[in-house]
Amino acid sequence: MKKVFCGLLALAILAGCGPKEKVARIAVALPLTGDIAALGQGLKRACTLALEESAQNRHSTGFRVEIKTFDDRSDPKEAVDVANRIVSDASVVAVIGHFNSGCSLPASLVYARHHLAMISPAASNPKLTLQQLDPSWRYPKTIFRVNTTDDIQGSYAGEFAVKTLKARRACIIHDKTAYGQGVAEEFRKRLEALGGTALSFDGVNVADKDFNALLTRLHELHPQMIYFGGDYAGGGLIVRQARGVGEKAPMVLSEANFDPEFLRVAGAAAEGCYVTFLGSPTSLLPSARRFVDAYRARYPGVEVKAYDGYGYEAMAIVLSLIEKVGPDRVKILAALPSVAYQGVLGETRFDQKGDTLNHRITLFQVKDGQFQPVK
């Protein structure tokens, strides 16, 4: 028995001395805690699903691909700290993130300085990729995204307000974030270009939670509609309190309100509200049916969140490039501009800024407590 034991021990030692499998990591940087953690957690699940499916079909050998997650807490300072930790890990070959534009903008500079590719599944402020065309930009093109942008979304909402709602007098509210204020400015720009008038343009601190004084003042301006740029943490409260002060004008909100949490917070006041969405939710995309089925099988009883298809697509693109050029930061970065990926979102290709060429916007209205696409 002693001889057998010694033999097994020797084999174990020899195995431990053999060549170690290399690890290539894809960093996933999202808000995993805080007010919009549900969206970040959904994206994390979608990225994990993409990796698991890829592992079953992967042909390359000699290395293992892993996800390494980071929580930026929707805080720009935390996002920069996360970015610095990511670039210091030489095994990280690309980043999926961040979610918020306010986090993505400062973090993107860290990745650019270290020539590390970043693909955002949700950040929509046009400045994120546009900065790469500035003559002062000193880095390679590292920033890409699979979702469309606020200049398209805000413009779409402004056109809808004037041409469909026939509303030319609007009050505009935003949550003071790069995303919320950015999309609100794009809405105002289009509204005024079509002959409309912005009666007001106010930023709010969502953490304050009580906006009755502001909404009472806006109600006295007799707006024909109200626009809100920001996520559901503020949008649900704004809508509920606006109806509470007697405001009956139509309300249009940006896409980060397309979430069951918005309906829960706003309650009955959500009825009739309009919400724009960047692209289309996976529930409306024929190309996403297989993803939705696989997601539900992998996570029984868990709802597919609004951006999960975007996270899945971003991860799938990186994995396809690893399969094609290997787990190499430089080669992945070089291959990204010419990507033509057919996936959940249809075909994804990037323009010279790094933005997707898919500019689809979907409009929803809340009816009977549900988001219903407007035909």
CA dihedral 69, 75, 78, 84 (to 10 degrees): 70
Q: What is the pLDDT of residues 315-334, one digit of tens each?
A: 999 999 999 999 999 999 99
pTM of the predicted structure, to 2 decimals: 0.84
Token readout for 355 is 């933005």
The angle subtended at Cα 122 by Cα 82 and Cα 169, nearest 5°, is: 125
Q: What is the pLDDT of residues 130-139, one digit of tens each?
A: 999 999 999 9
Token readout for 295 is 């997601």
Q: What is the mean pLDDT of residues 369-374?
A: 95
Alpha-carbon torsion (83, 105, 118, 295), positive or negative: positive
Nearest to 101 by CA among 191, 31, 171: 31
φ, ψ of residue 203 in degrees (nearest 5)? -100, 145
**What 8-state DSSP symbol labels residue 91?**
T
Nearest to 276 by CA among 176, 369, 181, 155: 155
Three-state secondary structure call for residue 252: strand
- Of the pLDDT bands very low, low, confident and very high (cuts 50, 70, 90), residue 352 is very high
Q: What is the spatial distance between Cα 140 and Cα 218, in angstroms, rounded to a whole number?
A: 46
Q: What is the pLDDT of residues 25-76, one digit of tens each?
A: 999 999 999 988 999 999 999 999 999 999 987 766 688 999 999 999 999 9
Residue 171 parent element (H or E): strand 169-174
Q: How many CB atoms lie within 10 A of CB 207?
A: 9
- Of the pLDDT bands very low, low, confident and very high (cuts 50, 70, 90), residue 4 is very low
Show Cβ contacts of residue 11 under 8 Å, excluding neighbours closer than 6 positions: none
**How many Å is the maximal CA-CA distance in the chain?**
91
Token readout for 27 is 């960093």
User: How many CA atoms does the CB half-sphere of 270 hold within 13 Å?
Assistant: 26
Q: What single-letter amino acid sits at 63?
A: F
The angle subtended at Cα 50 by Cα 152 and Cα 127, nearest 5°, is: 25
pLDDT at 20: 66
pLDDT at 19: 57
